[in-house]
């Protein structure tokens, strides 16, 4: 599997920002690769996806991990499963090599993000956005608008121009001390 520079960077952030006693939310399981990475460095992971294929694929990827809770539900409902968490990653978009119409959407993503910002307990929230498809572009624009109104987290936005016209955007929100 080709791992993009942006995904590698998001994993570097996860390594730097987590401790072995943390519980982390992977808001978008996909094929389970972010959760697999996390499972090796934190205490427990709660991974969500709304797509059956993603759940099937993640179960395969995570067959040897015993600290990942694979949840077939939207991340909007995270509070039904986990209330004490120290960090979150959203790797937004559609399941690679699958149905591109089943994608994260701006409204749902921002609803969940807003709820987490109001919880005010995560030390960090990482958002990986790919504006190279229609919904990703909308999500990217709306997220950049939304983060301007956050007051309890510092915001750092980086772009990765593997494809110069459509760079990945990674937003790191870090809780103010």
Phi and psi, residue 87, nearest 5°: -165, 165
Is the Cβ of residue 95 or residue 127 nearer to ligand SAM in the bound state? Answer: 95
Is the Cβ of residue 23 or residue 35 nearer to ligand SAM in the bound state? Answer: 35
Cβ contact 107:45 at 8 Å: no
Tell the residue number behind the tokens 């996390």, with chain if given. 38
Q: Applying CB under 6 A, which residues contact ligand SAM? A: 27-34, 48-51, 54, 74-76, 91, 93-95, 102-104, 108
DSSP three-state, residue 156: strand
Is the Cβ of residue 46 or residue 48 nearer to ligand SAM in the bound state? Answer: 48
Paired strand residues for 68: 45
Min CB(164)–ligand SAM separation in Å = 21
Min CB(73)–ligand SAM separation in Å = 7
| Spatial separation of the C-alpha atoms in residues 35 and 30, rounded to whole Å | 9
Min CB(1)–ligand SAM separation in Å = 9
């Amino acid at each position: 599997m080709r791992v993009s520079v942006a995904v590698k960077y998001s994993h570097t952030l996860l390594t730097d920002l987590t401790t072995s006693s943390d519980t982390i939310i992977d808001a978008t399981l996909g094929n389970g690769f972010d959760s697999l990475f996390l499972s090796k460095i934190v205490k427990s992971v709660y991974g969500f996806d709304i797509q059956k294929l993603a759940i099937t694929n993640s179960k395969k990827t995570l067959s040897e991990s015993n600290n990942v809770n694979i949840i077939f539900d939207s991340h909007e409902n995270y509070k039904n499963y986990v209330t004490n968490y120290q960090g979150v990653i959203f790797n937004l978009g559609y399941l690679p090599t699958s149905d591109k119409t089943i994608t994260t959407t701006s409204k749902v993503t921002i609803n969940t993000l807003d709820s987490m910002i109001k919880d005010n307990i995560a030390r960090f929230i990482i958002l990986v956005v790919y504006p190279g498809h229609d919904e990703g572009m909308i999500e990217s624009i709306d997220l950049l608008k939304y983060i301007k109104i956050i007051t309890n987290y510092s915001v750092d936005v980086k772009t990765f121009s593997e494809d110069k016209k459509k760079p990945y955007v990674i937003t790191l929100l870090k809780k103010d001390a």
